[in-house]
Amino acid sequence: GHGLPIKLKASEKKAAIQAAQALGLKVTGVDLLQSDRGPLILEVNSSPGLEGVERTTGIDVAGAIIDFIEENYRASKVKNRDKIGA
């Protein structure tokens, strides 16, 4: 098969973010189903496959995740250093 890029509805984005937050995940893949009742969570992946998303969107998702981790690591080091007065 192949993927097609789509624009998420606000309700779909909200459902995906809430699912990730409920599991305490900062980086995740969320599979959604559209329904008459709104978006339904099918699956939340703590280690999502990226090849299909990267191929479909042309976005370097793995690189963005690495940047996110590096930024949060640096921020946590500064925060921890400030706590101990270093």
Structure tokens at 47: 């280690």
Residue 17 lies in a domain: yes
Q: How many CB atoms lie within 10 A of CB 16?
A: 19
Q: What angle do CA 54, 58, 62 make, to 5 degrees?
A: 40
41 and 2 part of one domain:
yes
pLDDT for 86 = 54
Count of the separate structural domains present in the chain: 2
Q: Which residues of the chain have pLDDT under 70?
A: 80-86
Q: What is the CATH number of the domain that holds 44?
A: 3.30.470.20
Residue 54 lies in a domain: no
Rounded to two decimals, the pTM is 0.72
pLDDT for 75 = 76
Q: Which residues pair with 30 in a beta bridge?
A: 44
Question: Distance between CA atoms of 5 and 8, rounded to whole angstroms?
Answer: 10
pLDDT for 67 = 94
Question: Which domain range does residue 7 map to?
Answer: 1-48
pLDDT for 84 = 66
5 and 44 part of one domain:
yes
- Rounded-to-10 torsion of CA 2, 14, 10, 60: -40
